[in-house]
Amino acid sequence: MVKEIGIGLGLAVLIFLGIQGINIFPFLFFVGMSYILLNLMEARSGGMSDKFGNIKAKKSYTSIPKVTFNDIGGQETAKKELMEALDFIKDAEKIKRLGIRPLKGILLTGPPGTGKTLMAKAAANLTGSVFISASGSEFIEMYAGVGAKRVRQLFSRAREIARRTNVNNAIIFIDEIEVLGGKRGSHSGHMEYDQTLNQLLVEMDGLSIDDEVRILVIGATNRIDILDPAILRPGRFDRVVKVDLPDKEGRLHILKIHTANKPLADDVNLEQIARETFGFSGAHLESLTNEAAILAWRENQTRISQKHFLEAIDKVMMGEKLNRKPQKEELRRIAVHETGHALVSELVRPGSVSNITITSRGQALGYVRHNPQDDFYLYTQDYLEDQIAVCIAGAAAEELILGNRSTGAQNDFQKAADLAKKIIFSGMTSLGVVTEKDLPVNLKHEEMSRILKEQEERVKKYLIENKDIILTITEKLLKEESFTGDKLRKMLKEVA
């Protein structure tokens, strides 16, 4: 209303000045520019605040999600811990009688794709809470005070929607909370970050069990190390729930969930797929099942076979097949290189090779995919030295068969160097217990060189003894481009 009155008065003044014979074009220009700037400011502050207002209200974010904890696989420990924390919301009257202070915030931490957002939605479903989500990046703007205003509006909106739907509980989920919850003072010359975080802390401090609408804040981050200590202290984010990468049993559970609506062939072995996907997150596994279905569709198949899943593993890990075809000489070098990796891998751990190929994918001209039998979280010195040997084997095979090395071994050498450092700083060498900060650079270099040299000599000796086998497998690989680890092991038995 005030805006309309101002526009009317402005037009009246301009008409009066025009009647008096005064040139009104400079005034029109000034008024027009002022109007444009005013609208830009409103779009940045008030107008954009609809992210937590009308726009959200039209979406399902403000209703109780349909996701349940049964829809989330591979996170049994995290689910158990989170569900225990949610009991404080479900039995609010009971904990009030016992004098227990309710939880105000729960922080979910872990790598991307592990299901943090799904767990927040499942928490809202379990407690019958309205659910509002936001991303940390949505709070930060170049204008001071905008982020703090959005935080206030977010909490206000949660209470409003809960009242309107006759619900007593609300969950506010903030993804990428490290963006607005980073350590204060780390953003030089930009106080907007600090003001936004301060407002979030104030809002959380004001939460109480006696509120008409009880609000729980759930944050998600994969960078807990950069969060401000104030946000982690008791009374704000009281619980930190680690949502980690799933183990083999967890991956099998996730695969079963994502293949429940897909027609599988009789040869599909989900346990083998779970074993071969060490390090995959829930998002990776969902993508894997989807890619396998796409591959079956491309071949006009009515069911998804094991070969589709195995190829989908390669695609998720390495990327799509490339159309480019290396020159004949280059392709032979790639085959020799990958054969070297595969042979030494079978030497140090029989049955470890899952697939060997010279088909280009992503940034790789060829590769050997290994098959971890079990999930390992601790590594012995022997294991680390064996992995260094596998890394070096590709270049060593090139040098033995072709007379020189190529740049294709650059990443292999980097991995070998990193493994050598791990051996040193795990106290597995004659240097004893040392830290990277205190160890002189020249001593570190000498010890790394010794470790790498020992494994290089070991690999060369083995490859020289098996030169004919390398040539046989290389020729087979050049003809077929790719074969499984089982076929490789069968060939090794035949030529032995």
Residues 42 and 78 in one domain: no
The burial of 8, by beta-carbon neighbours within 10 Å (0-12 exposed, 13-18 middle, 19 or more buried), is given as: exposed
Q: Is residue 79 part of a domain?
A: yes
Local structure of 305: helix, strand or coil: coil
Which of helix, strand or coil describes residue 237?
A: strand
In which element (H, E) is residue 106 found? strand 105-109
Q: Please list the active-site residues.
A: 338
| pLDDT tens-digit series, residues 116-131 | 999 999 999 998 889 9
What residues form DSSP beta bridges with 313? none
Confidence of residue 17 (pLDDT cuts 50, 70, 90): low
Percentage of the chain lying above the pLDDT 90 cut = 40
pLDDT band per the 50, 70, 90 thresholds, residue 354: confident
> Residue 183, SS3?
coil
Q: How far apart are CA 356 and CA 368, in angstroms?
A: 4
Residues 122 and 236 in one domain: yes
* pLDDT for 122: 92
pLDDT higher than threshold 50 for residue 195: yes
pTM for this entry: 0.72
CATH for 379? 1.20.58.760
Domain check: are 13 and 58 in the same one? no
Let me know: does 473 contact 337? Beta carbons within 8 Å. Answer: no
Q: Which CATH number fits the domain that encloses residue 202?
A: 3.40.50.300
pLDDT at residue 59 in the model: 41
Average pLDDT, stretch 469-481? 91
Answer yes or no: is 323 within a domain: no
In sign, the C-alpha dihedral spanning 52, 58, 59, 60 is positive
- 339 and 439 together in one domain: yes
| Pair 339, 485 in one domain | yes
> Each residue of 299-329: pLDDT tens digit?
999 999 999 998 899 888 887 776 667 788 8
pLDDT for the residue numbered 46: 43
Stretch 131-158: mean pLDDT: 81
pLDDT at 36 over 70: no
Same domain membership, residue 217 and residue 259: no
CA distance 175 to 137: 9
| Same domain (yes/no): 109, 159 | yes
Whether the predicted pLDDT of 333 surpasses 60: yes
| pLDDT band for position 56 (cuts 50, 70, 90) | very low
Which of 405, 393, 403 is CA-nearest to residue 463?
393
Residue 242 pLDDT > 50: yes
**Domain count within the chain:** 4
Q: Are residues 343 and 405 in the same domain?
A: yes
Query: CA angle, corner 358, sides to 352 and 359, nearest 5?
Result: 115
At how many degrees (to 10) do helices 467-480 and 328-348 cross?
A: 120
| Whether residue 490 sits in one domain with residue 367 | yes
Confidence of residue 6 (pLDDT cuts 50, 70, 90): low
pLDDT of residue 303: 95
Indicate if 281 and 370 belong to the same structural domain. Answer: no
Res 232: pLDDT: 87
pLDDT band at 91 (very low <50, low <70, confident <90, very high): confident
Quickly tell me which residue has 């740049």 as its tokens.
407
Count of Cβ atoms closer than 10 Å to residue 288 Cβ? 24
Q: What's the pLDDT score for residue 260?
A: 92
3-state secondary structure 144-211: CCHHHHHHHHHHHHHHHHHHHCCCCEEEEEEECCHHHHECCCCCCCCCHHHHHHHHHHHHHHCCCCCC
- Containing domain of residue 16, as a range? 2-48
Q: How confident is the model at residue 21 (pLDDT cuts 50, 70, 90)?
A: low
| Domain end (from 318, 341, 374) | 318
Yes or no: say if 138 and 150 are a contact pair by the CB < 8 Å rule: yes
**Is the same domain home to 39 and 61?**
no
Mean residue pLDDT across the chain: 83
Q: Taking residues 88-97, report their average pLDDT.
A: 73
My answer on whether 67 and 38 are in the same domain is no
pLDDT band at 13 (very low <50, low <70, confident <90, very high): low
What is the pLDDT, as a whole number, of residue 57? 38
Give the pLDDT confidence score for residue 58 in this predicted structure.
Answer: 37
Mean pLDDT of 184-190: 60
If pLDDT is split at 50, 70 and 90, which confidence band does 52 have? very low
For residue 393, what is the enclosing H or E element? helix 381-402
